[in-house]
Structure 1
Amino acid sequence: MLLRRASSTRRLAVLLILFVCLGPARAEIAATLRVAVDKPDRVIGARLYGAHLEHMFNSVGGGLWGELLQNRKMMPTEGRGNGAPAPWFAFGDEQGSVRLEAPKQAPTPNDMARSLRLEAPEGSRAGVAQGNLAARPGDAVRLSLWARGEGKTLLTVSLGDANDSVSAPLDVPAGGWRRVVTRLAMPRRAKEARLTLTVTGPGVVFVYAPSLMTEAAYGADGFEPAVLAQARALAPQWLRYPGGNFAQNYRWRDGVGPRDERPVRPNVWGGLPEPNDMGTDEFLALCRRLRTEPVLVVNVGGRGASPEEAAAWVAYCNDPAQKSEMGRLRAAAGQREPYRVRLWEIGNEVFGSWTEGSSDAPTYARNFDAYVRAMRAVDPTIRVMAVGQTPEWNRQVLKSAQVQPDLLSLHLFVSQSTPADVLTQPVAYETFLRGVGAGGPRLAVTEWNLNMKEANQTWLAGMWAASLLSVFQRVPYVAAAGVNGLVNGWEGGVIQRDGTRLFATPVHTVLQLYRRHTGARGLPVTVRGGSIPAVVSEEVGAAYPTIDVVASRDAGGPIFVCVVNKSQSESALLSFLLDGYKADHAAANLWVLAAAPAARNTWESPERVQPARGRVVVARGRFAARFPPFSVTWITVPPN
């Protein structure tokens, strides 16, 4: 969500709960903690707050990308009506007809795309329509399509529904294909945005690759502005693309060149066909807009992918325009200067049978060597990540590979059923990360999240995220981490979009606030008095402390303290001693977010779970506060 200043009433309530009522309380945790503010003991990873973007389950199409039409390149599917592929439907008089045809001389190299043949005899009509489009009343939209006619034919485009609609005739050339563009405004009284293409007889019209976008999306490089605003608020430090499992099916050449000329492919991970409208250039334009570092995942052996293909992708991104064929191809697409993509991941989850190109560890190590050598022959400055998994897989890969990776990629998910089990898992992962990271390359947790359907969108997921982000701060081997995913996708997307409806999940807020409250160096935190109880999870086989505190700072900068109270029933009265803090008096700012485990934002109430702000007085390096049950609090103490 976009963080806003809390109302004065709510802020006062938080102040009363946290900082005034410091007297005895029922069922309360009490402890004193020491933070050595002048003795940092570790370097915190500089890229802990990244994100993952994948062509999967409306993450790109229907999510971040602004195209309003589905299956716009008419790949054959189980259709509705007499010849239109889903989700299009055909209509017209009995004499009219609609059918799919291979688009003769159409602007596409792909035999999976089709054009629509709309034929209407004298006095009849035929057409196709697609409804439930994500256009709002008053939106200015732009329609483009390729068309050709047989003889003089009238093709009419309309937008809206039976309540209110607008129409415009399109000039269809006879003979050869021509791209036609028209602009419309979504009617204000229409209850549904439906695009309709109608031929009035006599005549035949062929239509290929219609595209409908709002003018606002056109002005944002093709991205949906409301989703883009939430992505900007998240401000990921890096963005990983195109997957995920999709990466092992992806051929990067499908996603470059003029969008209407790109091939359409089946998407086994996304349901509807993949038009490849968002590819390399669009992704890197997104990274520029978000001011984030791109991470590209190359296909290792899936669908015939090869080291040479990966090397050509490096050349497309990084070669000067005059140096190579790929550099010239990029320049022809409008990007003369190299993108200079530095971080590349060699495959995704190739240890799994669900992945195209899967293999055992020694085979992957050989593939890793071949890919990296081919890619670094193009650009020796790139940094590479290898696929990691279990300690044994990692041992075999690192032992067998002749080229050592700069980073080892790991994925951390949890599918436990209760809050106690979920919140125990970060403790187990901390042990795992310390064991894997010792003596090897630094770690990049390139995918993490719950894997619990709609629970991914609850405050329980926010608490899990906070607990895991604290682990990443404590483990010095973790250089980077990224949430799966940015938009929709598996149910864990931190931005949820359904048509014109949108909300950000609690994990989105947790990521924003952790990023704002993380310094470059970690500070030691020790318990000096009282006790912090632990909760045991029999399912996980471990226990977690109910209070989790991490602290950090930049050199000479403010001190950041993050407190996670994992108890569902007990508040925590904590006293802090900032050892080495010399100011006599200071006011520390804070954000606090507390909610029930099942609390969540919804389409109807997109800001139900949000933080409030407050202050606490720091006197001679000491302060005390009460932290609500099941809460995360972020504290900023000004520098000495």
Structure 2
Amino acid sequence: MTAARIALDPRFTVGPIDRRIFGSFVEHLGRCVYDGIYEPGHPEADAEGFRRDVVALVKELGVTIVRYPGGNFVSGYKWEDGVGPREARPHRLDLAWHSLETNDVGLHEFADWARKAEVELMLAVNLGTRGVAEALDLLEYSNVRGGSALSEQRRMNGADEPFAVRMWCLGNEMDGPWQLGHRSAADYGKLAGMTAKAMRQLDPSVQLVVCGSSNSGMPTFGAWEREVLEQTYDDVDFISCHAYYRETDGDRASFLASAVDMDGFIETVVATADHVKSVLRSEKTIDISFDEWNIWYAARFENDERITDIETWPIAPRLLEDVYTVTDAVVFGGLLISLLKHADRVKAASLAQLVNVIAPIMTEPDGAAWRQTTFFPFALTARLAQGTVLRLEIECGTVATSVYGAVPVIDGVATLADDGSVALFVTNRHLTDVTDVTIDLGALGDVVVSECLTLADEDQDASNTREDPDRVAMHVNDSASVKDGVLTVSLPAVSWTAISLTRAGAFHAAGRSSQRSA
């Protein structure tokens, strides 16, 4: 058994939470769209073909904004293919994922789905095989109320009101050799800068995300961010980060410390952006859109048979359908902690992806939809994390890792809502030992534990599947208690825990109100 001490003080603030940090990502990849959010003929399908059971799970997950339609897919996408009568829409070859795109779901349909799911729409423009003119056309079509050729075309296609898309991604992973239209930082920076200026001329209210590195292991990482920002700084609001993590070669200790890498990634990009700010003598600050992050076992799919005969490329094949374990979900929860710890600069994030493809929600054609293990940390954090992020002072032992050296056994963050309630999110990285945590709450006044839920299991590889969709869930952790301003809680090995603290008077009043209602 190990022990840890945490100091929590409402004066130790990081910054306010931008609710867009709880975003997600829907790409035309595998079964994310077709047989995922959209399945006409399914018993749960609505009149437009969208699965109501999936919409309900998206709402439960707490997603606030969704990035669409890619991803690698967007670099070969013609948005015009997905508007107008379905029977007139062309089938196109998707070079990114060796699939056939029917365009049954396009901008109008996805905007309708976003309204049903009560999420904001974030659009990506194609800067791989297209450029300034096409981005302007899409912006005019989406955001201009009427009176112009493209806005009137949108109205004729059934959307009288504009889609009013606020947040736009200027391409996707343009540093990656796998990307259609891949180019150097200098060439991409010029194109992104021209596109940003043009889009702002049309709609000055847009918020623009310029492509950062595809991951921190890219040979151009750092230099790419610097050069791109030097050419776009005055015309964009965010730079993107992308990161995926997985357990490799049975090295679970390093995997459990993945958030250490995410912390370093964010802090390096912030330092680079602030360097450019200083060089340019700008008063503006560039924030981060961490618009792709997740656990992804990409190596599992490297040997998948890719159909090389273009004439037989499938529609919505099963691709990248990872099944997540308890350990994956604990690491996932640690990544959420990392994003919150940097809430002063991470103002948006997109869990990649939402349904079926490396996703928290899974579906079967004509069948059920269910929650993966990673669903639970996201849903709880989105529900409980409100207001301002607080920095915790943590004293604890370390665990040895082959990748990151000695890392703290405990990681955590807290949030403070306007009503005075506090949420804590903590992870225990120890492979075998329970960690007893003592948290000094003296600066909060009289508070009580209103909720304490832990994700852990004797079988760290347990998962939720089509056959057993409820095998893994959050469990009440009844070890949590407050006495004399001190919270004590026991955290199982390889676990993620969320604790909600409420002012004592408010908690008891809420309890009486609940009893009267019952």
**What's the TM-score once normalised by structure 2's chain length?**
0.84
Please tell me the residue identity of whatever aligns with 2:426. Answer: V
**Is residue 288 from structure 1 mapped to residue 115 from structure 2 by the alignment?**
yes
Which one of the candidate residues 7, 15, 23 is aligned to 1:50?
A: 23
**Is residue 278 from structure 1 mapped to residue 105 from structure 2 by the alignment?**
yes
Deviation at 1:216, TM superposition (A): 4.6
Structure 1 residues 319-330: aligned runs within 5 Å: 319-321=144-146, 323-330=147-154
Answer whether contact 1:252 1:313 (CA < 8 A) is retained: yes
> How far apart, in 1, do the equivalents of 2:14 and 2:176 lie?
37
> How far apart, in 1, do the equivalents of 2:450 and 2:7 lie?
16
Partner of 1:197: none
**Is residue 592 from structure 1 mapped to residue 454 from structure 2 by the alignment?**
yes
Deviation at 1:48, TM superposition (A): 1.7
**Is residue 573 from structure 1 mapped to residue 436 from structure 2 by the alignment?**
yes
Structure 1 residues 306-385: aligned runs within 5 Å: 306-321=131-146, 323-385=147-209
> How far apart, in 1, do the equivalents of 2:202 and 2:386 lie?
36
Which one of the candidate residues 356, 365, 380 is aligned to 1:488?
A: 356
> How far apart, in 1, do the equivalents of 2:236 and 2:359 lie?
29
Which one of the candidate residues 256, 266, 291 is aligned to 1:423?
A: 256
Deviation at 1:235, TM superposition (A): 2.4
> How far apart, in 2, do the equivalents of 1:627 and 1:424 lie?
16
Partner of 1:99: none
Answer whether contact 2:122 2:165 (CA < 8 A) is retained: yes
Answer whether contact 1:427 1:542 (CA < 8 A) is retained: no
Q: Secondary structure at the match of 2:53?
A: helix
Partner of 1:265: 92
Please tell me the residue identity of whatever aligns with 1:477. Answer: R
Partner of 1:506: 373
Structure 1 residues 437-586: aligned runs within 5 Å: 437-438=270-271, 439=274, 441-452=286-297, 453=300, 457-475=324-342, 476-489=344-357, 492-499=358-365, 500-527=367-394, 532-538=396-402, 540-583=403-446, 586=448
> How far apart, in 2, do the equivalents of 1:227 and 1:524 lie?
35
Q: Between Structure 1 and Structure 2, how many residues are aligned?
A: 457
**What's the TM-score once normalised by structure 1's chain length?**
0.68
Partner of 1:412: 243
Please tell me the residue identity of whatever aligns with 2:392. Answer: V
Which one of the candidate residues 224, 228, 236 is aligned to 2:63?
A: 236
Q: From the CA coordinates, give the structure whose radius of gyration is larger.
A: 1
Deviation at 1:431, TM superposition (A): 1.7
Bigger mean CA deviation after superposition, 239-248 or 442-451: 442-451
> How far apart, in 2, do the equivalents of 1:422 and 1:627 lie?
18
> How far apart, in 1, do the equivalents of 2:334 and 2:173 lie?
25
> How far apart, in 1, do the equivalents of 2:268 and 2:128 lie?
30
> How far apart, in 1, do the equivalents of 2:33 and 2:185 lie?
31
> How far apart, in 2, do the equivalents of 1:397 and 1:271 lie?
30
**Is residue 217 from structure 1 mapped to residue 217 from structure 2 by the alignment?**
no
> How far apart, in 2, do the equivalents of 1:259 and 1:244 lie?
23
Q: Secondary structure at the match of 2:386?
A: coil
Please tell me the residue identity of whatever aligns with 2:149. Answer: E
Which one of the candidate residues 627, 630, 634 is aligned to 2:491?
A: 627
Q: Secondary structure at the match of 2:135?
A: helix
Partner of 2:3: 30
Answer whether contact 1:495 1:502 (CA < 8 A) is retained: yes
Alignment deviations for residues 512-550 of structure 1 (CA, whole Å, 9 cap, x no partner): 0111221221223224xxx62222322x24332121121
Alignment deviations for residues 150-202 of structure 1 (CA, whole Å, 9 cap, x no partner): xxxxxxxxxxxxxxxxxxxxxxxxxxxxxxxxxxxxxxxxxxxxxxxxxxxxx
Alignment deviations for residues 57-109 of structure 1 (CA, whole Å, 9 cap, x no partner): 11111221114xxxxxxxxxxxxxxxxxxxxxxxxxxxxxxxxxxxxxxxxxx
Q: Secondary structure at the match of 1:636?
A: strand
Please tell me the residue identity of whatever aligns with 1:443. Answer: I
Normalized per residue, the structure richer in strand is 1
Q: Secondary structure at the match of 1:638?
A: strand
Q: Secondary structure at the match of 2:503?
A: coil
Answer whether contact 1:342 1:382 (CA < 8 A) is retained: yes
> How far apart, in 1, do the equivalents of 2:400 and 2:456 lie?
22
Unaligned runs of 5+ in 1: 1-27, 68-212
Answer whether contact 1:44 1:522 (CA < 8 A) is retained: yes
Answer whether contact 2:233 2:286 (CA < 8 A) is retained: no
- Give the alignment's Cα RMSD to 1 decimal: 1.9
Please tell me the residue identity of whatever aligns with 1:229. Answer: A
Partner of 2:311: none
Partner of 2:39: 66
Structure 1 residues 118-129: aligned runs within 5 Å: none
Answer whether contact 2:171 2:211 (CA < 8 A) is retained: yes
Q: Secondary structure at the match of 1:535?
A: strand
Bigger mean CA deviation after superposition, 288-297 or 541-550: 541-550
**Is residue 300 from structure 1 mapped to residue 152 from structure 2 by the alignment?**
no
Answer whether contact 2:196 2:235 (CA < 8 A) is retained: no
> How far apart, in 2, do the equivalents of 1:614 and 1:345 lie?
41
> How far apart, in 1, do the equivalents of 2:185 and 2:413 lie?
36
Cα 1:41–1:216 change in 2 (3 A) is closer
Alignment deviations for residues 288-326 of structure 1 (CA, whole Å, 9 cap, x no partner): 112111110000031xx22111111111111112x2111
Answer whether contact 1:593 1:631 (CA < 8 A) is retained: yes
Partner of 1:132: none
Q: Secondary structure at the match of 1:444?
A: strand
Cα 1:377–1:610 change in 2 (3 A) is same
Deviation at 1:271, TM superposition (A): 4.6
Unaligned runs of 5+ in 2: 214-220, 275-284, 301-320, 505-518
Matched-pair identity in %: 28
Cα 1:272–1:366 change in 2 (3 A) is closer
Structure 1 residues 15-26: aligned runs within 5 Å: none
> How far apart, in 1, do the equivalents of 2:247 and 2:468 lie?
27
Cα 1:402–1:430 change in 2 (3 A) is closer
> How far apart, in 2, do the equivalents of 1:278 and 1:267 lie?
14
Deviation at 1:557, TM superposition (A): 2.6
Bigger mean CA deviation after superposition, 272-281 or 515-524: 515-524
Q: Secondary structure at the match of 2:28?
A: coil
Structure 1 residues 32-181: aligned runs within 5 Å: 32-67=5-40
Q: Secondary structure at the match of 2:94?
A: coil
Answer whether contact 1:551 1:559 (CA < 8 A) is retained: yes
